[in-house]
Chain A
Amino acid sequence: MNNSYKTDYTPNQKMKKIILSLLGCGCLLAVGNGLQAQTLINGAGSTFDYPAFTKWFEAYGETHPDVRFNYQSIGSGGGQKQLLNQTVDFGASDAPMKDEAMAKAPGKILHFPVVAGGVAIMYNLPGAPKLKLDGDTLANIYLGNIRKWNDPKITALNPGVDLPDLAIVPVYRTEGSGTTFIFTDYLSAINPVWADTVGKSTSVKWPAGIGLGAKGSEGVAGQVKQISGAIGYGELAYADQSKIPYANMKNSSGNFISPAPDSVSAALATAHIPDDFRFSMVNASGADAYPIAGASWVLVYQQQKSADHGKKLVDFLKWAVTDGQKISSTLDYAPLPDSVQQRELSVLDTIKY
């Protein structure tokens, strides 16, 4: 027994050594390659942006093999937090960063809108009629002042549609979300009572005893699809996927508009956008503008710590706000208008590295 142990032992050891040294060489080669050629850019944040980023990284990577991306789709809050802690190269958020948070940051943070989208108002009614709604009616539904589908305010907007005597069940996002920010931003802009009692935020205190909370846009779509009389809000893509009808919303020019990417681009073109790009585009003034729309931002420090990372990040962002827009518009995001693209490019040039 002892003998056989001994003879077994040495070849085993040898094998181990060979395997280990092979592995070591492999690792060294991999690291060497990475250092020479590829830069890893880290980002974190919004889930709303995630599909766009995925497509962009893929397309950009084909022409720029020297850069690789890693994006954690952990939510806007997490994205802002990680940027403040400087653990990522860029953050992505559905709501612009608040002044208090910006003040705490170790450097100046710039906002760049990269995608924009409309929020569809979905509903579940027998016969699935096409409805028209306006902001004030919507606010009163979520405030609990309008509780039946055959309320005079709704029937007045929809002549010829036979609305049932059915309770309205408002459905909302239970977790914080950029979609909720856009929705409450819009209602605050239209209805002063809403602005005073509920306000606008990624997560608000919903009027008590009215409606249901659901997790995620897919959760809201699911609840609306199931509950007869329900109304909810979510990105257009979810309404389309679940084949739920959505309302044409009355814009500030008095036209009823569908939340298609074109009408969101129309809203972007007429929205007032300040120099720091922290803007709201709800209830925009264009005749074809869809009123419940918002952007999502990439957040970066103006002073980059690493020249290599900084340069590659800026190059990528320049590409994303211009050529990248053609790709993201295939995913139901509204493309940024030329004027906005040009302004973003000039601010991107102010980033130092």
Chain B
Amino acid sequence: MALAVFVLVALIGYELARGSQPALHKFGWHFLFSSDWDPGSDNYGALPFIFGTLVSSLIALVIAVPISVATAVYLTELAPLWVRQPLIMFIELLAAIPSVILGFWGLFVMVPWLHDHLFPGLRSMLGFLPLFRGPDYGPCMLAAGIILAIMIVPIITSVSREILRSVPGLQREAAYALGATRWEVTRIAVLSYAKKGIFGAVILGLGRALGETMAVTMVIGNSPQFVASLFQPGSTLASWIANQFTEAIGDLFYSSLFELGLVLLGVTVLVNIFAQLLLKTFAGPSVKPQH
């Protein structure tokens, strides 16, 4: 069974590579470093989309990780029972909302609100950073990051909660016995014990964020460009494929979209490998939670 997963990934990779043959031949490695996407002159490059995918997912992680971990800790360590059950139910409900619905909500409710309330505030407080400068129209990279954060919070929270629950009670009792306060118990005995597992939960959320398509397409503004400002529209690999596929006329155009898919697969694999390395280097000799 485990082998089947390998075969499946290899097959997907092979099919994508086959579909992208014309583009692979024409552009070679240049495809990865070109920021041109011009169907008029048949020149294609993936760089703005790689950039958009990474930036939007990073924003999502920055927002979602603290919220999710804090929620998971609250649910396992602090919350009284009558709060716990309804809250868990709500979080799981959030995970079940189809992304197209979230996208619509994002476009018609969240984006106007961000445009009217959050963005002016961010600009006046953090406007000295290039990230929060320039005009905003509503749909933008930051909006995409926020909608992604909303989508991955339930995933990271649920998995982290399971991890925290698997921390043996003895750990906590031992820390209490040493005279630790409640916060110290959570920090030293629970969180550091569950570090690796939580990291795994984050990677799971990241995987979702990298590949998310519909909701992002609706709020990101769909413009392939490199700009520092998060108020500007951008585009991700997945959203661009979804947008362009139906009306891709011409072999090179079509195969370039396949190659974007191949790049997305590559980016996902690389990010996962990188995360594993990061875990090995920095997590140190902590104990893995038992499952």
Contact = CB atoms under 8 A, between A and B. Distances in A.
Contacts of A227: 137-138
Contacts of B223: 174, 206, 209, 211-213
Most buried by B among A77, A80, A81: A77
Given A176-B249, A204-B40, A209 B225 contact: yes
A205 B37 contact: yes
B232 interface: yes
Contacts of A205: 36-40
Interface in A83-115: 95, 98, 101
B221 A213 contact: yes
A199 interface: yes
Contacts of B36: 205
A89 to B, nearest CB: 20
B204 interface: no
A215 B222 contact: yes
Interface in A7-27: none
A154 to B, nearest CB: 18
B249 A199 contact: no
A57 to B, nearest CB: 21
A176 B137 contact: no
A168 B115 CA distance: 16
Contacts, number: 104
A213 B233 contact: yes
Contacts of B244: 174-176, 203
Contacts of A328: none
Interface string A66-91: 00000000111110110000000000
Contacts of B179: none
B246 A175 contact: yes
Interface string B108-133: 10011000000000000000000000
B254 to A, nearest CB: 8
B249 A95 contact: yes
Contacts of B225: 208-209
A169 B245 CA distance: 26
A205 B223 CA distance: 9
Given A209-B225, A215-B243, A101 B40 contact: no
Interface string B206-221: 0000000000011001
B249 to A, nearest CB: 4
A248 interface: no
Interface size on B, as a range, is 20 to 34
A202 B107 contact: no
B39 A201 contact: yes
A74 B250 CA distance: 15
Contact of A169 (B40, B137, B247, B248): B137
Nearest to A93: B249
A347 interface: no
A212 B39 contact: no
A176 B247 contact: yes
A76 B137 contact: no
Given A205-B38, A213-B233, A175 B138 contact: no
Contacts of A78: 246-247
A202 B138 contact: no
B272 to A, nearest CB: 29
Interface string A326-338: 0000000000000
A174 B222 contact: yes
A77 B139 contact: no
A226 B112 contact: yes
Contacts of B137: 169, 211-212, 227, 230
B138 A176 contact: no
B267 interface: no
Most buried by A among B107, B112, B137: B137
A40 B249 CA distance: 26
Contacts of A174: 222-223, 235, 243-244
Contacts of B218: 215, 219
Interface of B: 36-41, 107-108, 111-112, 135, 137-139, 217-218, 221-223, 225, 227, 232-233, 235, 243-250, 253-254
17 contacts: A76-B247, A77-B248, A78-B246, A95-B249, A98-B249, A101-B249, A175-B246, A200-B40, A202-B247, A203-B244, A205-B36, A209-B227, A212-B139, A212-B221, A213-B222, A222-B108, A226-B111
Given A205-B37, A212-B137, A223-B139, 11 more contacts: A77-B254, A80-B249, A95-B249, A98-B249, A101-B250, A175-B246, A203-B249, A204-B40, A213-B223, A222-B107, A226-B111
The 10 closest A-B pairs by CB, nearest first: A176-B247, A213-B222, A75-B246, A174-B222, A205-B38, A77-B249, A199-B40, A203-B39, A175-B243, A75-B247
